[in-house]
Every structure is written in structure tokens, then in C-alpha cells.
Structure 1
Amino acid sequence: MSALARLLFGRRARLRWIHLILGGALAMPYVLVGSVVVGPVTGATDVFGSLPLQLASFGVGLPLAAVTSLFPLTRPLESAAVRWLCGVDADRLALTPARTRDEKGRTAAWFTLHLGFGGIIAGMSLALPPFAAVLIVLPVLAGLRDDRLGLPEVLDHTWALALAPVAGALSLVALAGCAAGCGALLARWAPPLLGPTPRERLAAAEARAADLAVRNRLARELHDSVGHALSAVTLQASAARRVLDSDPEFVREALAAIEDTTRRTVGELDAVLGVLREGDAPGTAPAPTLAADLDGLLRRTRAGGQRVRATVDADPEALPPLVSREAYRIVQEGLSNALKHAGERAAVQLRITVTGGALEITVENPVDGPAPSRAGGGHGLRGMADRARLLGGTATAGPTGTQTWRLHATLPMTGPVGQDPYDRPRRRGPA
């Protein structure tokens, strides 16, 4: 019994009832227009004094409602009402104006159903409650049995009079049942009629995938840039502190490297954050490349006391810009890992060569025992693999032998080229 009461009078049923009443209110102007047509055709002077003529006016007005539903804001407004009043999930509804013929046709069908069911339920909601109230109190108030109320003659019988309250209560329950049933039907039909088309779903999925790709790449940019800078600055500051009194020249070089590293990192951070700010243009600081900053990267790494032996058998200026940019980040991450895990003054081997139309990067450094691990770590290695994969290449890292860690990446000079991480793709809707 409680389940039935909740189904007929629960919060969701009441909200859907309100949705139907709103549909009835929207239908009233169309009914008035319909009465202007029905009156002269039938010769009636009082259209609203006859139930058949009222229904005829209602039937004439619904096609007019279907035509006016082509107004662009109809679908988003109806979808918003269905979402809040009918309890339909937002992702099952389209919140954009209908553009194609199919979308407009489905919107017109929905609007007609909403106003049709709403007009019927609204009319019943106006007529049935007063009539039911009269039936319920009829046995108690004999004055209500006046002929002027137009009550059926059967109510003059004692048995009928005794059953009048039951009939009144049942009529209210029937009204609630009709409202709940119509509301459930509209909630069920809303997704097919107001929901996005397959093309809209595809466009939304593409937009989400593009945004996710940008976010992932920006996360890699922040990890590689800021992570490397913090590792380098920490090592440089530590080395400067140890020789502060004995080697002032080294301290000056370390401080200069810290200043250069932090200045460049702030510029890169500003560029990345500029992409994240909706509506802002990307920052003015260019993303670093091998051609622009390989020598500076090596200099700043060595300023902390790390010995880096670099062999560059490739012309950085001749590399494609995106290959040069991704290669720079891979080299930066390899040196950053060496800074973290190699011993003091350990020698790091860096080789950059071009072999068979592909740029090959190799970074080798000693490690003291197994490579250390930390909670949440490993993002840099995954980021390098992602960068290489977007260019159609590969990147692997792992121990070779007992105390050596080796990073090797191959980046094709031609082939698939990933999107520039500093370019935010424009969202495209259906054509």
C-alpha cells in the first residue's frame, strides 16, 4: 500500500504532475486560437460551454503547437524542464537547439505530446477535485443536493448517497493515477524524442576525448618541466651548500643555474596555465626544443655537479619542430631521473643520433642497487612512452646489467604526428 501511495503521491509523481500542469498552461493559447476557428465553423457562440467544442478547439490547437515548437529554444527549455521535473538524467537529453530535420521533427512530436497530455491532465485537475469534494461531503450536507448543482438523480437514493464519498475518493485516486501514468510515459519518451542523435553523441564524445587528451598532455608538460626543475634546483643548492666556503666560483655557477632554471620553468608554467584558462590565449613562452635549449639543459644539469657526457650525432636545427620538442622533454626526463637516482658525481651518458629516418635517444646512468620507488611515481616514464607513441615511436626504460639504468627512445622523423600540447582544439558541433 505504501509503495502504491508513493507511486501516486510521492515527490517524483508530484513533480511530474507539475510538469503536466505546465504543459496544460502552455496549451491554453493554442486552445484559444482553436476556438476562434471552431466557433465560426460550427456556428456556436459559446465554444467553452460545450465539452465537445472544447475538445475540438484543443485538437485544432495542437498542430499549431507542433509548428511553433520549431523555435530554436524549444528543445533546450523542454529538456531542462524534463530534467528537473521528470527526473531524467541530463546526459540522456540534448540541451542544444534542434538543427536537423530529424531533430526538429522529434522536438515537435515531444512538444505536442507534452501539451496534449498536459492539457488533459490540467483539465481533469481543475474539474475533478471540486466534484469529488462535493461527493465526499454530500451525505453530511443535505443542502448540496439542490437541483442547481446538476447532480445525477441517482444520488437521491439512499444507497447511492452512502456510496458517494467512496466514489469521490476513488475519482481523486483515479486522477492521481492518470497523472502518474502520463508523467511516467512522458519521462520514458523524453530520451528518444529530446535526446541527442548519434551524430551529437559522437561530437560530444570527440570533444570530451579532445579535452582529455589536452589535459593529459598538459599534465605531462607540468610533470616534466616542474619535476625536472625541482630536482635540478635541489641538487644544485645541495652542492653549493657543501662547497660554500671552499669553492665560491662553483657556488656562483650553481646559483646562476638555479636562477636560470627557475626563470625558464616559470615561463613554461605560465604557458601551460595559459592554455588551461578558458578563453585565454596560450602563454608567450615557447615550449623548449633540442634546437633551442639542449646546451642550456646540459649546462644547468652539470651545474649541480652531475657529470653528463653528451654525444650528439644529429643536427637539432634540422629536426621537425614537434619531434624536437618531444625529444627535449624525453631527454629532460632522462636527466631528471639520473639526478634523482644516480650516485654523487656519477657519470651520465647521453647519446642523440639519427638512424634510418628516426631520432634515437639513449640515456644511461648508474644506480646504487634497485631503482628506488615511491608512492604515485612512474608518471615520467609513462609520459615519455606517451610522447613517443604519439609520434609513432617507442620509449623503454629499465635496468641493464646489475647497476645501470638505460632509457632508449626512437622517434620517427616522419609518420604520425601528435597534436601540439600547447594548442587547445576547438570544439566542433555537428556540421
Structure 2
Amino acid sequence: MKPLAALFGRRARLRWLHLIIGGALLMPYFLVGTVLVGVAGDGEPVFSSLPAQLVAFALALPMAAVTGFFALVRPLSVAAARALCGVPPALLADGPARTRQARVRTAGWYTLHLALGGVVSGATLALPPFAVAVAGLPFFAGLRGTRLLDGPRVLREPWALALAPFAGVAMLLALALVAAVAGKVLARRAPVLLGPTPEDRLAAAERRAADLAVRNRLARELHDSVGHALSAVTLQAGAARRVLDRDPEFVREALTAIEETTRRTVGELDSVLGLLRQDGEPDDEGTMHGPGLDALGGLLAHCGVPVAYEREGDPGDPDSVAPTVSREAYRIVQEGLSNALRHGGRGPSPVRLLIAVRKRELEIVMENPLGGRPAVARPGGGRGLRGIAERAVLLGGRTEAGSHDGVWRLTALLPLTVPRTGTGAAPGTAGRTASGTAGRTEERS
């Protein structure tokens, strides 16, 4: 059964159809070839001469190859190969052929498809009637004198008539075998001739990298804004529950802080979700919208932990700190506060925050006492410091985090301005990773 399936199974039938389509595509070029042969042969009949038809066929193939250089031939050929040849989609290229190498390969595939298709489709049209007539010789005496079977007298011998049905079936099987072999040849050559070129792979890798960068930026926004809000709300709600009966004023302040935190976070969440609906497209500056250091007061007032805030210069002034840097600095402070909420110790002033506008860079230093016991590891956690490092690297800055003399210290140094480039990213950051320039960090959130 396997040999019959290889010759007449669904895949073999689809590949046979693919070859017949190739023969149909060859016909315009073949007709032009017959015209050229007829002109060169002083009007001698072409279709009745096998050598003339072979010459016309040979002339048709170069014309088909020229057509294969058009860019749109590749996507059409790829679609046919995927649907009819049974070639896995991952092995074939997407989109038009843009480079010279891709067009040469496509032209080679197109010529091969039409050449094999012309042979198989021609045999499919001519051979079955002849094979059926040969198989019917013993049963229909009238077939023996027809022009179709006008051959040697040996065909009229009894033993030849007895073998005629087997000869007819053998012809049909031979045709199916030729079609199966030709279809398999096309299927094996498709990944080579229609597969992605090195330039295609590079372009695909660049698209994946761009998509991954946008997804990472969206993930950082959600992690820093929503994660901080949930940590602050959880802490404030727990503290309010414990003193609900004996300190109503504290409960009132905690509920106010929860309300302000959730209202601010809902606005930030709407901004990020809006970017998701737009496929994560950045704004004109190549960054996402969000609060900057000018909104730091609201964050510190309702962050859920006392903060001793010191500043040098005016971090919220857009003339001093670029808006892009201001937004990223706000997120770095927000994540640092989230770390303090999750892991820091308790005390009258557990968090010290310094933001200084230096001559060429913005310095952020956050310190909080270490907790008495290690924080419980959270599934999927450990991305906070990595996100901070990525934000700094994309701006051309650096970060450092770790324990120093009983306190946890987070330091970030960011440039005050980020010159715009053609891609909207900080210059000099292409190809670098956060881990490569983030300085020394200890995984924490």
C-alpha cells in the first residue's frame, strides 16, 4: 500500500497538480517559442515536429527565467509550494525577493518548476489516452487499425495483444512515478531556492529584536507602575487593618493614600494599555508617555514608606533634565521604593533618596535598612533591578545595587540629555545588554 500511496496519495496528487500548474504557466512562453521556431523554419509546421517542439521548449525556459527575477514571483511561488508541495512554512521565505541573491534563487525555482511542469503536464495530456487505447486492444478490434496505434505488425500478434493491457497499466504507473519523482525534486529544492537568504534572516532577526524591545519596555512599565502600586496598597491596607479600632485617623490617611495611589496607577495603566492597542508604538521621542520627576512629590507622599528626600539642583526642570531621562528616572525611583516596601527594614526613616543634577549627569541614590530576614521569593520575581539596569543602559547610563554597611543602596547615573538618533534610541546603546554595563547588582526584586 505504501508504494501506491507514494504514487497516488494526497500529497502525490497535490504535487502533481502543482506540476500541471507549472505547465500551464509555461504555455505563454512555449507559444512565443513556437512562433520563433516557425519564423526561423520558413513557416514549417511546429506542432507536428517533435524536434521543433523541443527547440520551442528550450527557448521558453530562458524567457521564464527572466520573469522569475520580478520581486513578486517569490511570494506567489512560496504560497504554491506551501499549499501543494507540502513544504513546511518555516523553511520558506516571506515577502518579495529584494536582494539579487534572492531573485536569482527565485528565478532558478521558477524555471525548474515550469520545466518539470511542462514535461509532466504534457505527458499527462498525451499519455493516458494512448495507454487506455493500448490496454483496450484485445477487447476492441477497431482500435487496432486506428492511426493512434499505427505501428509494427507485431502489435497484432496474439501474444502482443495479450500483454497490451499490462503495457497500458505500466504506462500509467510510469507517468505517476515520473510525476511523483518530479514533485519530490521540487519539494526538496524549495527550501534551497525559496528559503530565506542571509539578508532575509538578518531582516527577520531585526524585526524580532525590535518587537522584543517594545515588549520589554511595556513589561518594564507594567512592572514598575503596577508592581509599586500593589506593594504600597498592600502595605497600607495591612497597617490600616491592624490599627482599625484604635487609630481611626491613621486609617483615614491610609485609605487616602490607597485612593491616590490607585488613581495614579490607573492612569499609568491606561497609557500602557493604549500602547498595547497600538502595537506598542513609541512616541515621537522613541519613548513611552509617563510621569517624570516633576510628579515625584505625589509618588513620595503616597508610596507607603517614609522617605527622606534630598535634591541638588532642580530635577523636575525640563531645561535641566530631558523629559526622556526624567521619565526613566521616575520609574527607577518607583522601583527602588517598591524594593524598600518588599524587602526593607522598619524604622522611623527607612528610605533615603538623593537626586542630584550634576554637570553632565543625573545621580540617583536610594538607601534603606536591610530587613531582619530574607524576603520570600516570588514566582516570576527578580526583574526589578534588571529593568532598572535596562532603563539606564538605553539612555547611556549605568546602575549599581547592593548591600553596604547594613543598608541596601541603589545608585543610578543617567545622562542629562539623550541626543536623538534615527531609531529613537540613545546613541551608542545598540547591541549592548543591561548586564554588560549595569555595574554590580545583587538580584532582589
Mark yes or no: TM-score above 0.5: yes
Is this contact kept in 2: 1:385–1:396, CA < 8 A?
no
Within 2, Cα distance between the matches of 1:52 and 1:407?
88
Query: Where does 1:235-254 land on structure 2 (aligned, <5 Å)?
Result: 235-243=235-243, 247=247, 249-254=249-254
1:113 matches 2:112 = yes
Query: Where does 1:72-221 land on structure 2 (aligned, <5 Å)?
Result: 72-153=71-152, 154-221=154-221
1:379 matches 2:371 = no
1:124 Cα offset (Å): 0.8
Query: Where does 1:334-349 land on structure 2 (aligned, <5 Å)?
Result: 334-342=336-344, 347-349=349-351
Is this contact kept in 1: 2:290–2:327, CA < 8 A?
yes
Within 2, Cα distance between the matches of 1:407 and 1:15?
67
1:155 counterpart SS class: helix
Within 1, Cα distance between the matches of 2:30 and 2:383?
65
1:279 Cα offset (Å): 6.3
Q: 1:339 to 1:134 in 2, by over 3 A?
A: same
Q: 1:211 to 1:375 in 2, by over 3 A?
A: same
Is this contact kept in 1: 2:325–2:415, CA < 8 A?
yes
Structure 2 unaligned spans of 5+: 426-445
Q: 1:368 to 1:17 in 2, by over 3 A?
A: same
1:351 partner amino acid: L
1:50 partner amino acid: S
Within 1, Cα distance between the matches of 2:162 and 2:413?
92
1:20 Cα offset (Å): 0.7
1:274 matches 2:269 = no
Q: Give the alignment's TM-score, normalised by structure 2.
A: 0.80
Is this contact kept in 2: 1:347–1:365, CA < 8 A?
no
Is this contact kept in 2: 1:229–1:262, CA < 8 A?
yes
Is this contact kept in 2: 1:24–1:122, CA < 8 A?
yes
Match of 2:13 in 1: 14
Q: Percent identity?
A: 56
Match of 1:428 in 2: none
1:350 counterpart SS class: strand
Within 1, Cα distance between the matches of 2:68 and 2:191?
17
Within 2, Cα distance between the matches of 1:97 and 1:371?
54
1:314 Cα offset (Å): 5.9
- The CA RMSD over aligned residues, in Å, is 3.4
Within 1, Cα distance between the matches of 2:80 and 2:99?
22
2:205 partner amino acid: A
Match of 1:325 in 2: 327
Match of 1:54 in 2: 53
1:201 partner amino acid: R
Larger RCO, structures 1/2 (Cα 8 Å, 6+ apart): 1
1:396 counterpart SS class: strand
Match of 2:438 in 1: none
Match of 1:26 in 2: 25
TM-superposition CA deviations, 1:150-172 (whole Å, max 9, x none): 24322222332333233323322
Within 2, Cα distance between the matches of 1:150 and 1:177?
24
Match of 2:366 in 1: 362
1:159 partner amino acid: W
Structure 1 unaligned spans of 5+: 424-431
